[in-house]
Amino acid sequence: MKQKALYILVLAALILSACGGLAGGGGQPSVVRIGWASGPDSLNIGVAWLASAYTISELTYSSMYEFKLDGTLGLDLGTKETASADGLVYTYKIRDGVKFHDGQPLTAKDVAFTYNLVMAHEDFPTLHSYVEHFVSVEAPDASTVVITLDQPIPNIASKLVFLYILPEHIWKDHSEDDAAAAYENLEMIGSGPFKMLEYKPNEFIRLGVNKDYYGAVPKVDEVIFQVFSSSDVLIQALKTGQVDMITSVPNTSVETLKSAENVKVVTGAPLSPDLEDIIFNMVDPANCPTADGGLCTGHPALRDKQVRLAMAYATDKNKIIEIVKLGLATPGIALIPSGMGEWFNIEVKDFEYDPAKGNQLLDEAGYKDANGDGIRDMPDGSRPLTFRMNWPSSDNEAPRIAELLSEMWRELGITLEMQAVESDALTSKCCPALDYDLMIWGWVADPDPNSLLIVPTTDQIPTGYNETGYSNPRYDELFAAQGAELDKDKRIKMAWEMQQLVHDDVAYIIPYYPYAVQAYRTDRFTGWLDTETKLALEDPSSLTIIEPVK
């Protein structure tokens, strides 16, 4: 392969000459290079889906509130929040002298414009849900914003935190009808600590420091987010020093990275906590929503709480965490992840792993192995306890979980037929067809618990989020009440009770809440915030304070 060697040689010479040319260019700017697995889907936050789009928005925009790493929300652009006694009118004072990246001033008019824009656009799928009860937003003067609601909501801060303030002078030309959703917003003019310098979709994003930022001006000159196609490559990039920080580390690589030189691996709760859940189809064919296309083929045994309870007892969550997550997760209880701080009910006591107890429960409930094939049958002997188990094929941890569950539940005399399903098909299988027995799927949380608490409510049954068909009047009652409760402590109490209910009824088995795992190079920048409750090194909280290692 002489040719190859020659090729490399020639290129190396070219590179060297190029580097020589670059070195003469003067003072080195401090550039933080961050590697991640996928860039934002869109710079137009109205239509963006991905967390990475929100990450970039956090850095380039400001919003009324900031989302802190302890899970609480604090005023950011706003300086004062006043609520009317009936909880229907909120008045905000905002900072003076804030400027957009293009030098234009940011006033209350821009805030009102942004909120009205989102209210007018149903085709801003995620953002629009945050303005659900908004009636009007006005800016009586340059520093005052008044929001009027149609019902009191307990969590306005969590609604406003993601409504990044867009410059009216730019967006007003792109606000009508389809134009807003179609606007690519490549300049991404905002008022955050960083401004957009260069965007190569799916390659990299370069952000420069905003020297006019009203808060602490970042100490670095540039932040580069670079996309790497796989996590393996990502880690290699960190190890070889091609990037300074990576936003995710596969669990399997944690051990090696820990032993790598000048690399620190950190874990914590994710900024947006998520969970993996095992879903039971509990819909009785008698109540089947056939009008919506319901098939309701769920196994009858799963409608029996004793069976679900037995399965819960036979589920060794620690083993699942140990094998699938390599210990980097906490056992789950209900639909509110522990990373949600005060909303998470720490008092719920999980079913202790005890397969014998599970077997005993099944024996008591009359599920015997009638034909001696090692698999329990329905009490009437009509069919064996063989359940279909599905999961979205894009989830590469689910098959591992399924295998483990299959093994654990075999001890109960329950067998699984496992099948990955394309997530789109799984959605139709789930709801409204209800054509499954068990599923492994996941949810990702909003800062406010409402979005996850709504899942098992009766209203959501055929076409909403309630995949299980779980229906508990007490739960529904609590859900309605917490949605209008302005006293946070009372609301927390309600949320806790709701978690207890779902847990006791075994509507789900939640194997775990995963940790966020990130890593950075210690020889490049210092000051990363890695000891907070939540871990997000790509958050402005870290990027505005880190400085180069001297």
* Footprint (CB under 8 A) of another protein, residues 508-547: none
End-to-end Cα distance, the chain: 44
CB of 109 to another protein, least distance (A): 26
Q: What is the distance between the alpha carbons of residues 299 and 339, in angstroms, rounded to a whole number? A: 33
Interface map 65-104 toward another protein (x if CB under 8 A): ----------------------------------------
Site for another protein in 314-333 (CB under 8 A): 319, 322-324, 326-327
Closest CA to 175 of 133, 118, 107, 102: 118
Tell me the C-alpha distance between 152 and 489, whole Å.
Answer: 16
Token readout for 445 is 């949380």
Task: Say whether residue 266 binds another protein (CB under 8 A).
Answer: no
Element (H, E) at 400: helix 398-410
Q: Which is nearer to another protein, 105 or 327 (CB)?
A: 327
Which residue stretch of 199-207, 210-218, 361-369, 533-541 sits at the interface with another protein (rule: CB under 8 A)?
199-207
Site for another protein in 322-381 (CB under 8 A): 322-324, 326-327
160 membership: H or E segment, kind and range: helix 156-160
CB of 14 to another protein, least distance (A): 4
Amino acid identity for residue 463 in this structure: T
Shortest CB 223 distance to another protein, Å: 10
- Helix 317-324 crosses helix 398-410 at what angle (to 10 degrees)? 140
Among residues 268, 262, 226, 261, which one has the least CA distance to residue 246? 226
- C-beta of residue 237 within 8 angstroms of C-beta of residue 35: yes
Which range, of 222-230, 378-386, 432-440, 489-497, touches another protein by CB under 8 A? 222-230
Residues 12-71 that bind another protein (CB under 8 A): 14-15, 17-18, 21-22, 31, 33, 41-42, 44, 47-49
In the DSSP assignment, the letter for residue 261 is T
501, containing H or E segment: helix 488-504
Phi, psi of 329 (to 5 degrees): -165, 165
Q: Within 246-265, which residues bind another protein (CB under 8 A)? A: 249-253, 255-257
For residues 224-243, which are near another protein according to CB under 8 A?
224, 226-237, 239-240, 242
CB 309 within 8 A of CB 351: yes
- Contacts to another protein from residues 113-132, by CB under 8 A: 122-126, 128-130
User: Residue 342 has what DSSP assignment?
Assistant: G
Q: Please name the residues in contact with 323: beta carbons below 8 A apart, sequence gap of 6 or more.
A: 400, 404
Of the two residues 420 and 461, which places its CB atom closer to another protein in the complex? 420
CB of 17 to another protein, least distance (A): 8
Which parts of 154-183 interact with another protein (CB under 8 A)? 178, 181-182
In this chain, which of 138, 187, 212, 222 binds another protein, going by CB under 8 A? 222
In the region spanning residues 384 to 423, those forming contacts with another protein, defined by CB under 8 A, are: 392-396, 398-400, 402-404, 407, 418-423
Closest to another protein by CB, 234 or 296: 234
How many C-alpha atoms does 411 have within 13 Å on its Cβ side?
A: 19
Task: Count residues binding another protein (CB under 8 A).
Answer: 103
Quote the least distance from Cβ 253 to another protein, whole Å: 4
Distance, CA of 107 to CA of 225 (rounded, Å)? 30
